[in-house]
Amino acid sequence: MTVSCCSLMVVALTLMSWTADDTMTKENGMTVINTTTLGKDVQGFLGTTPVKIYIQKNKVVKIEALKNQETPKYFLKVKKNLLDKWNGVKVKDAKKMKVDAVTGATYSSKAVIENVQLGLDYYSKH
């Protein structure tokens, strides 16, 4: 049985796509969960609202908003009033937290909260 060069390339590219997952990475000794893929169906007011969740020693260190299409004026409220709610909290406790949306930025807030939950669930399972 002969295997063509093209067939080998297809197999190699397929294997690379299976292993190339940027959802969970390491950065400065922390585990970082990127919800861009996890939350691809989670919509804020104008689009997706992905976040990066930094975890060290099973505690949330910080949550960082990634590029999104939300109205900057309203999303700034989310950044200022919501993203630090999970800081310093153990992952198992952070997963159970009931965090309120920010008034005036409800859709964006709810999307960020859902992204955080998706990211924490992913971390716990992997």
Full-model pTM:
0.83
Q: Which residues are 54's β-sheet partners?
A: 32, 62
Asked if residue 14 belongs to a domain, the reply is no
- Sequence length of the chain is 126
Asked if residue 64 belongs to a domain, the reply is yes
Domain count across the chain:
1
Q: 106-125 and 72-81 helices cross at what angle (nearest 10)?
A: 50
Largest CA distance in the chain: 66
Query: Which of the four pLDDT bands, split at 50, 70 and 90, describes residue 21?
Result: low
Note down the domain range covering 71. Answer: 23-125
Asked if residue 28 belongs to a domain, the reply is yes
Q: Look at residue 47 and tell me whether its pLDDT is greater than 90.
A: yes
Asked if residue 102 belongs to a domain, the reply is yes
Asked if residue 107 belongs to a domain, the reply is yes
